Structure 1
Amino acid sequence: MRDDLTQALYHDFPVLYKCMSWGFQNGDGWYEIIRRLSISISNIVASASLEPSEFTVSEVKEKFGLLRVYISNTNNAIQDAIYQSVQESSRTCEKCGGPGVQSARGGWIRASCEPCEAERLRIRQEQARRYDRRDSGTVEIE
């Protein structure tokens, strides 16, 4: 996720994300899902008069085309909020945030929309062509 989006989450939820070692390991398109989840967790903790420092997220990432959130402590309400966010991620393009579907293409499961998937494939094909030219001894001058 872009640094400005990451910093916004760190700024707005400093206790929740104080233990994040690797940052957010997902695309920008899931930012709003993560923001809503952060608000939900914060509200659940506050409404139950729980100690906020006992609920810290250590990792947020994409795995098998779904959002994954690892939190130090939990209860049923937090588990439900995370579950809802994971379900939403399965139908949201990880890159742009638009409506998407989970699919297995090129050996990876990802949640994406058709335009973003087409762009990813176009870039991958271009990279493969450049690699093939280098491998064959053809020099490309740009």
Structure 2
Amino acid sequence: MHDIAPYLLQNDLGGESLVEFEHEEGWDLIVVNLARAIDRHVRHQAKIDPESYDLDLIYFSQVKEKKGSLRAYVTMPDAIINAYVDFAELMSETTCEVTGRPGLLHTKMGFVKTLHPDVAAERGFKPVD
């Protein structure tokens, strides 16, 4: 992901981000495509209004799994970035967090994860009714 939009991985001081991507690898492609979409939008907007879209001020502040779906937080979001983030979150709700295959919400001991049925069975998760 460093090759796609390195500024999205920085911190508020312009150094390398301390943000950890707190999800399993099945959602990596969703996050990479989210970064690509944000990058394309931000670079286009920066050409139009450089003062409002400073790449040093736009980055992921957090990317994690929460309640079975992806959560991504970006500093200085606008309506389009928010729409991209919402779409990525929707994609994660039907994508296995472990494998990237189609998934459904499953539960185990109060924890919920979006998993492919085979992965859920291996890990002892049951489908959410």
Structure 2 length normalisation: TM-score? Answer: 0.82
Aligned residues: CA RMSD: 1.5
Counterparts of 1:47 and 1:22, CA distance in 2: 25
Counting aligned pairs with the same residue, the percent is: 26
Higher RCO (C-alpha under 8 Å, 6+ residues apart)? 2
Deviation of residue 15 (structure 1)? 0.7
Q: 1:61 aligned to 2:100?
A: no
State the number of aligned residues.
114
Q: Mind listing any 5+ residue stretches in structure 1 that lack a counterpart?
A: 1-8, 123-142
Q: 1:23 aligned to 2:20?
A: yes
Structure 1 length normalisation: TM-score? Answer: 0.75
**Structure 1 residue aligned with 2:73:** 70
Structure richer in helix, relative to its length: 1
Deviation of residue 22 (structure 1)? 4.0
C-alpha distance 57-22 of structure 1, shift in aligned 2 (>3 A): closer
Counterparts of 1:10 and 1:40, CA distance in 2: 14
Does structure 2 conserve the Cα–Cα contact (< 8 Å) formed by 1:30 and 1:97?
Answer: yes
Q: 1:95 aligned to 2:104?
A: no
Q: Mind listing any 5+ residue stretches in structure 2 that lack a counterpart?
A: 12-16, 47-52
Query: Where does structure 1 differ by over 4 angstroms across 4 or more consecutive aligned residues?
Result: none
